[in-house]
Structure 1
């Protein structure tokens, strides 16, 4: 494996040179669109979980299953309310891991090319957590995460690649859902605002994340042995699956009134309609990873 202090550092500097240009451009946009999260939104005193939609019905984790057909409209609204709180909770947990990883990489010698944008990235993720946490603590609760993790005790080059690749994967999935929910006029204005705000800033993060992920892969992977490459690919495939599995949360189904929430979670995960939805929402992310030969096998979604 390449020495992170020698050949790899030189390869990273060369590979990140284009990402540095992108980093500077995105930094300017972040400065121009800077937002105060404490004044940007007015929080309603209360919301009605059985009247208002807080998520798009067709993207509920139970849509297309027999469970969905058995629910009344108020029950469907309540389910989507709890699913929205779970979605925001997943973002809180994901962004906590992301902020830790970004902070640890600030001003590292081999990443100085992109440190300027890492500051904006970190700032914007913190603001996102304020919105997500604001909703959950005011109206619902923060659901615990069972699976999400971005780190690991690995050689630095492997850890760096997996951190940025997992960040990209997580944010690709989230952004697809943000974009859909921000545009749906059926949703409560607060839900549309939170999703739209996140989508606008995540668009920049994804541009950055794709470039850095590809740069790190092409700089480091040629020096890895076959077992390391295979292990990295397996880790990303597992992360994709476990990230999606978090959207089928038994706690959500319990709060929505289902008597056997674990069975509901298993049934929903296995439903063909849900598998097709996951594949459609992950298609762009997987296409990018395959273009760079990062993922080469089918991923079970």
Structure 2
């Protein structure tokens, strides 16, 4: 069952997207999971050599691509930098997957465990558990140090994990997953990139497509009828999470560990218009969705602009 909705409703905000029946959606996603899921232990050739001439990720996604510093680097230095950047992205992805699993388990704790909705949520937890192990092993296989968000963001993640619920939690998770997805779609197709990065990216993109749909529909469903006050709170909360995730993607230690002048690298990355434009164009679909469900407006726009999504 699908109902067409508009924003005009005296009882509260109604997103400009159709809402599907929760159980129908879950049953379809469960069927998709049964048809096509991956075990990284088997699907990724963890014993394959790491080629010296392959980038850690698509070079155009490097925070320094297009800068004067990038032009000064040798091919070997560029490859080393992108390996560290790929490991940093994976480290942040792993951190957020763990938060996502906590949120899903809390959300279904009091629900009917026989429902397809809960069963898909548990299926997603199983997927995310495998993804977390996969990200950790990928960084290890590339010989990179363990990266993750800065300590203060890591601690803020604990608070988010305890207190955020409902639409905001799903919106934050969906947004973070889409940000990672928009990069990995390029990684998995790029023959210049390390085979391990390409395979890990492919598995994550294919399985996250189900998770993103699940989250999008939950956000749309849970915001139906939301008051202006609640929408204002949801907007800010979601934007704050997205802001911290994007800011955390590349740890400052990446530049030092890649043998670069950290201060100069940070300065050039901060002013890199090529990277800013790439983030904005790749995030257009995400921003369109957030706007359609009323999650862009007011102070949230400032945060999205700061991380170049608007």
The answer on 1:143 being equivalent to 2:147 is yes
How far is the alpha carbon of 1:113 from its aligned partner? 6.0
Q: TM-score, normalised by structure 2?
A: 0.82
Q: Which residue of 229, 232, 235 corresponds with 1:233?
A: 235
Q: Which residue of 17, 27, 32 corresponds with 1:29?
A: 32
Q: Would you say the 8 A contact 2:37–2:207 is kept in 1?
A: no
Distance 2:74 2:22 in 1: 50
Structure 1 unaligned regions, length at least 5: 1-14
The answer on 1:134 being equivalent to 2:134 is no
Indicate the residue corresponding to 2:84 in structure 1: 82
Distance 2:268 2:249 in 1: 13
Matched ranges for 1:8-47 at <5 A: 18-44=21-47, 46-47=49-50
Distance 2:27 2:195 in 1: 33
Distance 2:37 2:23 in 1: 21
How many residue pairs get aligned? The number is 279
Q: Would you say the 8 A contact 2:38–2:203 is kept in 1?
A: no
Q: TM-score, normalised by structure 1?
A: 0.85
Indicate the residue corresponding to 2:5 in structure 1: none
Q: 1:73 to 1:35 in 2, by over 3 A?
A: same
Indicate the residue corresponding to 2:190 in structure 1: 184
Q: Would you say the 8 A contact 1:169–1:240 is kept in 2?
A: yes
Indicate the residue corresponding to 2:284 in structure 1: 283
The answer on 1:162 being equivalent to 2:168 is yes
Distance 1:32 1:20 in 2: 18
Indicate the residue corresponding to 2:6 in structure 1: none
How far is the alpha carbon of 1:94 from its aligned partner? 0.6
How far is the alpha carbon of 1:64 from its aligned partner? 1.4
Q: 1:55 to 1:115 in 2, by over 3 A?
A: same
The answer on 1:171 being equivalent to 2:177 is yes
How far is the alpha carbon of 1:188 from its aligned partner? 2.1
Distance 1:76 1:199 in 2: 25
How far is the alpha carbon of 1:266 from its aligned partner? 4.1
Distance 1:109 1:16 in 2: 20
Q: Would you say the 8 A contact 2:30–2:120 is kept in 1?
A: yes
Structure 2 unaligned regions, length at least 5: 1-17
Q: Would you say the 8 A contact 1:248–1:269 is kept in 2?
A: no
Look up the SS of the partner of 1:109 in the other structure. coil
Q: Would you say the 8 A contact 1:172–1:206 is kept in 2?
A: yes
Distance 2:186 2:277 in 1: 16
Distance 1:81 1:63 in 2: 14
Q: Would you say the 8 A contact 1:249–1:265 is kept in 2?
A: no
How far is the alpha carbon of 1:238 from its aligned partner? 2.4
